[in-house]
Amino acid sequence: MTTLTIPAEEAKASISLEAGVYRATVKSLESVDGQYGPQAKFVFELDGLNLEDGSPASLWAWASWKLNPATKLHRWVLALGGERPVPGHQYNLSKVIGTRCRLLIENKETEDGTRARVREVLPLVKAAKPTAPTDGTCVECGEQVVVYGPDGTGYCETHAPQE
């Protein structure tokens, strides 16, 4: 009988996050064979969050390798500031690597427990100069303002208007 040995490795800790919106950067993007065919695998590094070992916290997300207005990949490319893909032309997806964005995170129950999952990729909110006085707190919840709406209304990161 032949004995096969392989070193056992410790798995990276899964990330425990509250559902919500988080700032992130696209760290890598690759084509992989997924359960439902070719997939675009995005790796997002979460701004300011680290694992217990000090390494940056990151999440993976997948989108079908189809680029048309009905697909998640198309929405994500546009959210990442990419040019609108033109039907019949090649599109270089690597342009989005390094792009800062926001991620809508939800929690999903799996056999292994609760997992943080990327529900949607959103553009970064660009702060506008207030046109009306504000006391620096979000009109929705009272947290610190990070963005102002076109009318000068202040919002925290969670309640910022979607572009």
For range 67-76, the mean pLDDT: 90
**Rounded to an integer, what distance in angstroms lies between the CA atom of residue 163 and that of residue 56?**
28
Question: Residue 26 half-sphere exposure, CB side, CA atoms within 13 Å?
Answer: 27
For range 132-137, the mean pLDDT: 62
Which range (13-22, 48-57, 63-72) has the least confidence? Answer: 13-22
Residue 62, pLDDT score: 92
Are the C-beta atoms of 96 and 156 separated by less than 8 Å? Answer: no
CATH classification number, 20-122, choose in 2.40.50, 2.60.120, 3.40.50, 3.30.70? 2.40.50
Residue 145, pLDDT score: 79
Q: Using one digit for the tens of pLDDT, what is the confidence trace for 14-48?
A: 577 888 899 999 999 999 998 889 999 999 999 98
Say which residue the tokens 């990729």 belong to. Answer: 121
Instruction: State what percent of residues in the chain have pLDDT above 70.
Output: 81
Q: Where are the domains of the chain?
A: 20-122, 126-163
* Total-model pTM: 0.68
In 53-159, which ranges are E strands?
A: 56-64, 100-110, 113-122, 147-148, 154-155
Residue 133 has pLDDT above 50, yes or no: no
